[in-house]
């Protein structure tokens, strides 16, 4: 059984989002609990639960998500930023629809917690 995630509800327009970019393959919107002045999520329209479930046939899609992250970062006037994909609950993944975090607008510490 596939459980509908909050992100598939956003994709289907059942829940509103603060959209910043959209195309045939993905949607980008502002995180509801931003951890930086710019905190945007980029999600594929295809419901891949987690990076661990991505397959060879998703290669182009995964590359596209990264390029969209860069496009959105430039749209947000960022010259440096961080992209993060949390995979699995121990890594902090809470929504099981693959998503890429784009964080910027402040100086970011390394390593993350
Ligand atoms: P992760 O912890 O990597 O699974 O990230 C999930 C992210 O989704 C968190 O940063 C949440 O703040 C964010 N989030 C959850 N619900 C919403 C929502 N309805 N709109 C925007 N962002 C959300």
Q: Which domains does the chain have, with CATH numbers?
A: 6-104 (3.30.428.10)
What's the whole-number average pLDDT of the chain?
A: 96
Residue in this structure with the two tokens 């899609």, named with its chain if needed: 61
Provide the pLDDT confidence category of residue 50 given band limits of 50, 70 and 90.
Answer: very high
Does the pLDDT value for residue 1 go beyond 80?
no
Distance 31 CA to ligand 1 centre (A): 6
Q: Is 99 a catalytic residue?
A: yes
Q: Which of 112, 91, 96, 106 is nearest to 34 (CA)?
A: 106
Distance 79 CA to ligand 1 centre (A): 24
pLDDT digits (tens, 9 = 90+) for 5-37: 999 999 999 999 999 999 999 999 999 999 999
Active-site annotation holder among 39, 97, 99, 101:
99
Torsion of CA 11, 97, 34, 59, to 10 degrees: -100
Nearest CA to ligand 1 atom 15: 32
pTM: 0.97
pLDDT at 56: 98
User: What Å distances lie between residue 62 and 18, 47, 58, CA to CA?
Assistant: 22, 13, 6
The C-alpha angle with vertex 111 and arms to 41 and 49, in degrees rounded to 5, equals 35
């Amino acid at each position: 059984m596939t459980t509908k995630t909050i992100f598939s509800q956003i994709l289907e327009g059942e829940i509103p989002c603060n959209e910043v970019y959209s195309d045939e393959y993905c949607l980008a919107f502002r995180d509801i609990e931003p951890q930086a002045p710019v905190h945007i999520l980029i999600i594929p329209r295809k419901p891949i639960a987690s990076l661990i479930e991505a397959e060879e046939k998703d290669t182009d899609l995964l590359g596209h998500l990264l390029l969209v992250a860069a496009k959105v970062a430039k749209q947000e006037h960022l010259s440096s930023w961080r992209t993060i994909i949390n995979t699995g609950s121990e890594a902090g993944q809470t929504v099981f629809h693959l998503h890429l975090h784009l964080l910027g607008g402040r100086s970011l510490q390394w390593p993350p917690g």
